[in-house]
Structure 1
Amino acid sequence: MNIAQASFGDRLRLFQYFFIDCVRNNCSEPNLLTQFESRQPVYLKLFGWDCQSECQLQAQWQTIDRLQNDENVHSVPQFYGKWTFYRLYGIQEPASFIFSIGNLATNLYCWKDYRIFGEYSNDPFYNLWRIQAFISMNAWFWSMVFHARETPLTEKLDYFSAYLIVIYLLYTITIKMITEMFDLKVKKIQISLAIPFIGFYIFHLIRMYQRFDYGYNMKINIMTGITSTILWLVWCFINRFHRKHIRKCFLSLAFVNICLVLELFDFAPIFYTFDAHSIWHFATAFFPFFWYSFLKDEAIFYLVQTSDKDAKEKLL
């Protein structure tokens, strides 16, 4: 049996009373459940809102309304470790849902804008960036699904896909530094270097699957992200004189790490819609513009060094 630590909200007797009362009146008998299902809008059924989850949400709002009328209560509680949001046509967290779509769209747009440069520029890292683009868009798709309706499955897919972005960025800079320092071919080391990264990622997935530990997941993401950022900054410093576009890489790193503060310092949702996590999603939608502009300049950097005249005429 899995044991989860309750939040302040779902430990309140007031919440438990509202929840039990709702379940008793709507979900406890077959005929009551049939009546509930006949009244429920189709779009809520499509998003998987069953009788018990509806009662949980209803009890949360009843508890919040009652607490707001109490002069001695000055904060909004979390329930089951989550904030309570206004639901939009069955979408559980509308702001994060919409901003996840925005991230998916900007990643797709910027990738398509960069792709022609990568294909014709003789950039040895083009295939790595193509995989990164797929990983990023996959992660934002599952973020969209998770924020539309939270379930144990959509939560795992969201968290696991998000960490794949973080660890892959560390993988790419490791390859970039090794190949440039020792003048090696990317294809010669990317497979052998992928083995330890894939192994650690699988280990992380298995551990999280056995016990979904939010604290451990946050620490692993931060440690991986910091290591990746340090290596990218070292690479920027090494190449600061013969790559004028290095500042774009630095700005990309600075931007995403500043935005990360929103993930570390949580607060109750403004208007029960915009919490720190949703604002983080809004901010990260601009990251691809910085990043793919840097990758495009990298592609041009390699294009200048190539002897392919047709490619130069097409792109420059």
Structure 2
Amino acid sequence: MFPRHNVLWWALCALSLCAPCARASPGDRDDRFRACVTSCTNNDESVKSTMCSTESSESAPLTLLLTRWTCETDCAYLCMHNLEKTRKLNGEQQVEGVWKYYGKWPFRRTLGCQEPLSVVFSIANAVPAAAFLLRRRNANVHAAAYPYAQAWDVHAALSLHSWIWSAIFHTRDTVFTERGDYLAAGAVIVYTTALAVVRVFDLRRPDRRVLVFAVAALVFATHATYMLCVHFDYGWNMQVLVTLGMTSALLWVTWSYRGGVFGIAMPPTPKHRDARRLLYVVLALQASSALELLDFPPIAGTSLDAHACWHLVTSIAAWPWFAWAANDHVVYADALTRFTR
């Protein structure tokens, strides 16, 4: 129910991100594409890459070197756009549409970034989390009045960390950046599900909170170990994320709409306007997942595809989510005071 803090969001996101490695795409299976890449890497004249050049006068651009493009990956990029240009001239695009290559649309890179707008929007998603942490440093929140302050700080820190990895991954899709992105996202998903349990059921006792977060840590460690050391199973990863996502979203939505169903008289039974704000943010973010399901190609040769649009929407929704989290301690303290009178 939060941008990259939205576990259901991440479940769908993981499904889309796994595509490049889970299966080939029509573009990279095409014989013309493969022949072009072979020709390019052999320094033939059809398509030339400065990353493959042995001439000192044709030095590779610094931006490509910094973003770790190689002869093979640069040739694949050039051949991808060369083939799409040919397909457009031949009328193939009108019949079959734009092809994907290695699970991704043919984006136009900028300064070496494969998906520049997704990079920008990932950073935009990180800003609200960073702002929340900076605000909390100056806030005077007593643990006795609001026992969840530290838990929210950890959530914001993990969110910030995961969005940094998202920006890195969208800059260059490699095995290393993909693994980092998946693990960072998984940490947020598991932790936020635990946070939902702790906050919704108002687990004020430290030992109960520690138990919930310890179980969450064990779940994440087990899942990460399996993915990294046994089998990087995209289907299994998606199932785990969907399960956690539905659980977390259901808890937040139910609590924000009718907290009394959990049988707790004092918070959580939110009757203040922030409860409705939480509900609207959750529902809006779940609805925004439709952008990922639509999965349309980049608009007018840019890098603005459905996934980038999704990042844009979540970067906007992150602000009311963290605003709600920041104000929760005020509402909680007020409810606690009224309850104990």
Is residue 85 of structure 2 the alignment partner of residue 65 of structure 1? yes
Alignment match, 1:217: 237
The answer to whether the 8 A contact 2:25-2:103 is kept is yes
Alignment match, 1:25: 43
The amino acid that maps onto 1:208 is M
- Secondary structure of 2:105's match? coil
> What is the percent sequence identity of the aligned residues?
27
Distance 1:234 1:117, change over 3 A: farther
Cα offset, 1:289, TM superposition: 1.8
Is residue 299 of structure 2 the alignment partner of residue 267 of structure 1? no
Alignment match, 1:188: 207
Alignment match, 1:235: 255
The amino acid that maps onto 1:61 is H
Alignment match, 2:101: 79
Alignment match, 1:199: 218
Number of aligned positions between the proteins: 296
Task: Name which of structure 1's ranges 106-115 and 76-85 shifts more when overlaid on structure 2.
Answer: 106-115
Is residue 120 of structure 2 the alignment partner of residue 136 of structure 1? no
The answer to whether the 8 A contact 1:167-1:225 is kept is no
Cα offset, 1:139, TM superposition: 0.6
The amino acid that maps onto 1:127 is Q
Cα offset, 1:243, TM superposition: 3.8
291, 299, 308: which is aligned to 2:321?
291
The amino acid that maps onto 2:323 is S
Rounded Cα–Cα distance in structure 1 between residues aligned with 2:306 and 2:56: 34
* Cα distance per residue 1:239-281 (max 9 Å; x no partner): 4564442112112211221122222331211123111111111
Distance 1:37 1:175, change over 3 A: farther
The answer to whether the 8 A contact 1:135-1:165 is kept is yes
Rounded Cα–Cα distance in structure 2 between residues aligned with 1:108 and 1:11: 42
Q: Which runs of 5+ in 2 are unaligned?
A: 1-20, 45-51, 260-267
Distance 1:77 1:242, change over 3 A: closer
Alignment match, 1:104: 126
The answer to whether the 8 A contact 1:110-1:288 is kept is no
Distance 1:4 1:247, change over 3 A: closer
Rounded Cα–Cα distance in structure 1 between residues aligned with 2:80 and 2:207: 56
| TM-score when normalising by structure 1 | 0.85
Distance 1:234 1:5, change over 3 A: closer
* Cα distance per residue 1:6-39 (max 9 Å; x no partner): 211111011011111101117xxxxx65338952
The answer to whether the 8 A contact 2:255-2:270 is kept is no
* Cα distance per residue 1:81-132 (max 9 Å; x no partner): 1111101111111000111111112221244335544625831100000000
| TM-score when normalising by structure 2 | 0.79
Give 1:149-164 correspondences, 5 Å limit: 149-164=172-187
Distance 1:137 1:173, change over 3 A: same
Alignment match, 2:195: 172
The amino acid that maps onto 1:292 is F
Distance 1:241 1:88, change over 3 A: closer
294, 302, 310: which is aligned to 1:280?
310
Rounded Cα–Cα distance in structure 2 between residues aligned with 1:305 and 1:71: 65
Distance 1:68 1:8, change over 3 A: same
* Cα distance per residue 1:222-249 (max 9 Å; x no partner): 2211110111123221245644421121
The answer to whether the 8 A contact 1:106-1:286 is kept is no
* Cα distance per residue 1:48-106 (max 9 Å; x no partner): 01111111111111111111112244311111111111011111110001111111122
Distance 1:119 1:34, change over 3 A: farther
Rounded Cα–Cα distance in structure 1 between residues aligned with 2:140 and 2:308: 32
Rounded Cα–Cα distance in structure 2 between residues aligned with 1:115 and 1:17: 57
